Amino acid sequence: MRLSTQLLLGIVGITVISQGILGLIAYWIIADVDNLHVTRLLQQQAEDVAHNVAIPLVTGDSDTIALEQTSLHFSPGAELALIVDHKGIRSIAGPSRQQIDEQALIQRFVNPLVIGSTNTGATNLAGKEFLWASVPVVGLPLQLVLLDRAGTSDDALTATLNSRFLTISIIMLWVAVWIALLFASVISRKLNEKNAVLRHQVTHDTLTGLPNRSLLYEQLSESISTADATVNIALLVIDINRFKEINDTLGYDFGDQLLLETGARIQQTLPENAYLARLGGNEFAVFLTDGNEQRAHAYTQHVLASMYEPINVNQVELEIGLSIGLALFPQHTDDADSLVRYADVAMHQARECHASYMFYNGEKDGHSVRSLLLGTELRHAISDGQFSLFYQPKVSLASGEVAGLEALIRWDHPTLGLIPPDEFIGLAEQTGAIQELTDWVLEEALYFLRKLQRRGMRLGIAVNISTQSLRDFQLKPRIMELLKHTGVASHDLTLEITENVMMQDIDFAQEVLESLHDLGLRISIDDFGTGFSSLAYLNQLPVDELKVDRSFVLGMKESNDDQAIVQSVVELAHTLGCSVVAEGVEDQKTLSALEKMKCDIVQGYYISKPYPANVMEQWLEDQGAIPAAPRSLKAN
Amino acid sequence: MKFEQNIGALDRILRIGISSALIYISLIDTDFIADPLSSGILAFIGLANLFVALVGFCPLYTVASIDTRKLS
């Protein structure tokens, strides 16, 4: 039951009960008063009768008649009038004289008679309650007793009291109801206000006052459920670039101000039927309720444009960039939850590609169920031994000898089969398992190398290092330890790092690479030609080897351009003092061409496919890499 | 005269019922209430409420800002 109804019933109930109790009390009081009054009245009337009956008695008139007349005159309501003396009842008058037993009367009034006294009382005769008054008859040794029925009477006083009581009850009831209504309305209004405030707090972000994530979901779900077949909803997830950096450098207060300002600017761009929310952290979300693809594009441009002008906070001007991910309903999904997730994924994709915005692309979704599954299985996989290292030889064109091996990691999942590195390296980085993975790779590779070297082979080994591993402070110490442990010389270990990774943060890369180079390790730039190298920096980095990306090598057959590119890379490498490796050699023609260009090292299926350790060992034996007699390289 | 409405349907019905009863016992059936003062007061309450119920506006409600139309 609602609070106001409860309150109303409660107060009215209390009033009614208290009035009931009051009524009962009043009734008893009135009844008593009534009796008291009647008794006094009776006494008064008895005295009047006694006074007037005395005269005829003295003069000798018949007692009874005198009594009758007098009592009728002075006390018309009396039931019974008696004149008594010690001997008995002298006369009786009154309408009830037939019904009353004389003996009872004698017993009650004659026996305890005291002549000359005035008494009142109540008695029970023939089953009925009577009030009596006994008064002396003046001048004679007689008592006059007057009896009247007790109980309710139509007395004016009672009636007055009753009606007054009724009136007061009604007024009280009225006031009670009114007070109850008053309380109820005040309380429910206060409650509603409090509820509204609470609800606002729960559904809105405290800093910006914008709706928060849960309210967004609510609104989005509602829009989706009320959408008909023609309606398109576009969801944008807007992320502020480098927000963490800004917070770290300029402080959290600044970050807060930045958020407020960004929120305000986005708010201004909102069209009629759009909804803005803050998802938390540095993310905002906007959804357009008639956002087909074109409109979504147009609106996104609009939002990006709003941030062109630098934001000024406390005299500090900052140019803020946004990364925006978009997901569409119903094209991408018809569920609010997924819509937000996909837009988020799209936003991350945009980030990675350095694009300002990107639509969700189902194929590139790195957050699919399979990825999640693999991500969790990664760590177990390492200890389970599901990973294995394959090796691919790198052969020197000049000498025909195996110069080194590249270690390639493979994951043989028990149910999903062979999983390519492209898929799991990213996951490993996301889940933080990359450290363990890199450690394992280094260890395996170095131990294998040691084994080969003990058999007399002279070669090096190359291991791929990912972005995160570069940033790992523990990398260098661990490499040092492993080298010490295995006894492998540092110049026999090459670290292959992709061009992109290095160019992402050149200064940092320079620092790390120099530090690793100090150990004596060889540094190789992998997939060269696919990143955005600055030649100036390239010159500064301690690079020993450039590996031409396979796409160019593969394309050499068909395209003169690719051939020219490979040639220039070879020349560039030599100019910089690096050796150059051509990856992806698949036929003799390419091999010959590379030889002509004076490429140093070749790697590819034409030379050998990647093989596991034991197979590779055998292959090396067959190739005569074990010094028995160095033969020239035979094609496989 | 236009009065601001603040009496709901149920409220109105109750008021009219009770007012009629009061008017009856105070003015029509003169014997029920013997005391003239009491019957006078009740008559007054009855008439006033009947008037308020028919008009739809109770000044007491306005003072307390209660509105029984939506059952506060």
pLDDT at A336 over 70: yes
Mutate to test the interface with B, among A7, A167, A189, A192 (most CBs of B within 10 A): A167
Q: pLDDT tens, A67-110?
A: 777 777 777 777 778 888 777 777 777 777 777 777 777 777 77
Quote the tokens at residue A516: 């690793």
Give contacts of A 456-475 with B, CB under 8 A.
none
Q: Looking at beta carbons, which residues of chain A come within 8 Å of B72?
A: 4, 181, 184-185, 188-189
Q: How far apart are CA A30 and CA A23, in angstroms?
A: 10
Most confident of A343-352, A369-378, B35-44: A343-352
Taking a C-beta distance cutoff of 8 angstroms, is the pair A388, A410 a contact? yes
Q: Is A552 helix (H, G, I), strand (E, B) or coil?
A: helix
Q: Are A107 and A126 in contact (CB under 8 A)?
A: no
How confident is residue A628, by pLDDT bands cut at 50, 70 and 90? very low
pLDDT band per the 50, 70, 90 thresholds, residue B71:
low
- List pLDDT tens digits, range A503-550: 777 778 888 889 999 989 999 998 888 776 777 778 888 889 999 988
Pairing mode, if any, of strands A311-313 and A316-318?
antiparallel
Confidence check: pLDDT of B66 > 80: no
Kindly tell me if the per-residue pLDDT of A51 is higher than 50.
Answer: yes
Q: What is the token pair recorded at B11?
A: 């409220």
B42 touches chain A (CB under 8 A): yes
3-state secondary structure of A480: helix
The answer to whether the CB atoms of B45 and A178 lie below 8 A apart is: no
Looking at chain A, the whole-number percentage of residues with pLDDT higher than 70 is 92
Residue A366: pLDDT above 60?
no
Instruction: Label residues A452-473 b or e (16+ Cβ within 10 Å = b).
Output: bbeeebebbbbbbbbbbbbebe
pLDDT score, position A442? 93
Q: Taking the model in full, what pTM does it have?
A: 0.44
Q: State how far the Cα of A290 lies from the Cα of B65, in Å rounded to an integer.
A: 43
pLDDT tens-place string over residues A557-591: 888 888 898 999 899 889 888 999 999 999 898 99
State pLDDT tens for residues A166-190: 777 878 887 887 777 777 778 878 8
pLDDT at res. A153: 53
Beta strands in A455-603 (DSSP E): 460-464, 493-498, 522-528, 545-548, 579-583, 601-603
- Calculate the dihedral angle through the C-alpha atoms of A66, A69, A74, A76, rounding to the nearest 10 degrees: 140
Q: Look at residue A463 and tell me whether its pLDDT is greater than 90.
A: yes
pLDDT digits (tens, 9 = 90+) for A1-50: 577 677 778 877 888 888 888 878 877 776 666 677 777 888 888 888 87
Is B14 in CB contact (< 8 Å) with chain A? no
Interaxial angle between packed helices A421-431 and A434-454, expressed in degrees from 0 to 180 and rounded to the nearest 10: 120
Task: Give A-chain residues touching B61 at CB under 8 angstroms.
Answer: 181
Q: Which of A317-331, A604-618, A619-633 has the lowest mean pLDDT?
A: A619-633
* Beta-strand runs (E) in A126-265: 128-136, 143-149, 233-240
Interface of A with B in 245-274 (CB under 8 A): none
Q: Is the pLDDT of residue A603 over 90?
A: yes
- pLDDT at position A636 is 44
Q: Per the CB < 8 Å rule, is A185 touching B35? A: no
Alpha-carbon gap: B3 to the closest alpha carbon of chain A (Å): 20
pLDDT, mean of residues A306-312: 85
Cα separation, A243 vs A282, whole angstroms: 7
Over range A205-226, report the average pLDDT: 88
* Per-residue confidence (pLDDT) for residue A364, from 0 to 100: 58
Q: Are strands A601-603 and A579-583 parallel, antiparallel or unpaired?
A: parallel
Is the model's pLDDT at A152 over the cut of 80? no
Confidence band of B34 (pLDDT split at 50, 70, 90): low
Q: How confident is the model at residue A630 (pLDDT cuts 50, 70, 90)?
A: very low
pLDDT (tens digit per residue) in A464-504: 998 878 888 888 898 999 999 988 898 999 999 888 777 77
**Chain A residue numbers touching B37 (CB-CB < 8 A):** 164
- Whether the complex's predicted ipTM is more than 0.90 is answered with no
A379 exposure class (CB count in 10 Å sphere: 0-12, 13-18, 19+): middle
Q: How far apart are CA A495 and CA A502, in angstroms?
A: 12
Q: Which of B38, B50, B61, B70 to mutate to test the interface with A (most CBs of A within 10 A)?
A: B38
A573 CA to centre of own chain: 56
pLDDT > 90? residue A159:
no
Out of A156, A171, A185, name the one closest to residue B66 (CB).
Answer: A185
* A531 vs A151, higher pLDDT: A531
- On average, the pLDDT of chain A sits at 82
Cα–Cα dist A394/A602, whole Å: 6
Q: Which residues 6+ apart lie within 8 Å of A375 measured at CB?
A: A427, A430, A431
- Cβ of residue A188 closer than 8 Å to a chain B Cβ: yes
Q: Is A235 within 8 Å of A228 (Cβ atoms)?
A: no
Q: What is the mean pLDDT of residues A131-141?
A: 80
Total length of chain A: 636
Among A333-342, A492-501, B1-10, name the one with the lowest average pLDDT: B1-10
The separation between CA A7 and the C-alpha centre of its own chain, rounded to angstroms, equals: 34
